[in-house]
Chains A and B, each alone.
Chain A
């Protein structure tokens, strides 16, 4: 029996997209155990540090999110976090000021997404473009919490930038443990 199945695939088209919504209207099926979201992202700005933000179910409560991140930029390793926020800041996308045709690589793991407990999220993300001119070449490990007991039925990805560029992708998989 297949336990790792594609639920949804999303590719940003020409002109870009300000956000990526998966399960619009609350359509993520509740029949899996865990969710895995794999992303490849690039944005349209040249700012030095460009994060990706994750929120669920249309953010029913704007203060339900917290996170802890360990990251490396160049030769520096550090950590930051946030609490009572409106999204989980998790990873980055490659800015347009960096080498062309380079995209980030990120994976979000969301266990027990259909359960009635608060939702923990794990994220690994890297951006590498053979350049540090814009300072946004970093890798990133994040623990996030969505302090809400409702099942996750939709996911929204946003960015510091105004849009994700064409060919950015997001694939959502479901994992069954039985």
Chain B
């Protein structure tokens, strides 16, 4: 399996990796405040489960996972929750996002925790649960929750596990130094992964040939384990997921497909270390190795950094010279972004804090027009046509951008790096992707609005139709009653034509017509005998009530000898009569 394939494109920027590996991984004093953003990864943000003022222990869950693609957050050190509010986070927008702030007490006391050593005898499902509960998300790239990645489902059997130790971006040495010092634990983590994935046929550690010490450190640990360390020539960006899979297996991932669709799972080497800590030591992901480098810091070095440590704390302990460097970049020089302020916290994906001097990474020169030299197309590792994408992005031709596979762009920055006109190409692609995504969302929203509007219209129309039908029924009933009367008059019969007509009415008069019509309407309304009975029963009940009240009043009036006696007794009589009538009607109906 030592054969490797060569990806298209790629560039060779100055590596600048030696500066930060002269010293071993350092430990920083615990910062006074830790700020933990609730969303550090792709997927739903975690939900806080602590209150302000609550004291927390190191490793305690402070925010729970929300839904499937989400991970919990843990307190990186012991202390008191001092704020749950919006804070600046490491995001190119410079916007605020919900964070939990912990004021540390310096004791750094752990919550009770326990790992398991015989992971071989534990079901993969349980292991995946442990990984999820430990809050582990990918530590190399976008930070996808690892538990989701490790659960590809039965229909997608995994035959290759790839461990990404490429670290192709200049300056960054976090993975390199971690391998040098923690190779044993990393290999242990890979074995756990192998158990979770039901022992895939191939387990490959992909590493570039610019890390000989790391390769040497891994060698004794992988011996006899079936894990092979595959070394390939250094080129940027070999560490992209799709690129690495191609380099190691020759499999090209189709556009829009996930590695699991091809039977591959790709995990960052830093993540394997975190998985080992989670399963065997029972420790959640609360710290990571972060490189602090660049000419503006006097002591470039890797630190085992607590998640939530403010960047300013790291810079302070690295003797950052603000005069020498204008900006602080999170990530490397190719894919990183300038931080809006040094107060933002380190998150689970922060592998590097780069503080370059002005001379090292000068400000961008003004962009010149595209001369169609085609160097970007040669550098593109995804075999796209960057200059075409650039034109279409400028013209905002979204259809063409998608036809030219804009979404396969991994935003590695190789095209911008080689561009002789200094055009910030990647920025165009990012903007275009954002616009297309927004347009898609709006489309979904407008389709939804259309459905609702159509439903609304349909409902109004239906209500209108029902009203119209009722009106028609009434009209018909009136006409029917009129016709009945007319027939009765013609026959010269004085008897009531329908039972609803009151006795003694004069059929010829127009007033009687109207009354008859009203009665017919009432009859039409109350067609069913059950309804009628129910109504009559209600009437009886209320009449009885009234009668009782009237009698009471009468008794009162008699006792007090007021002038209302006659009036009240008449009312009582009236009510009683009505009650009798209703009762007899009910009896009639019952027959």
Q: Does A associate with B in a complex?
A: no
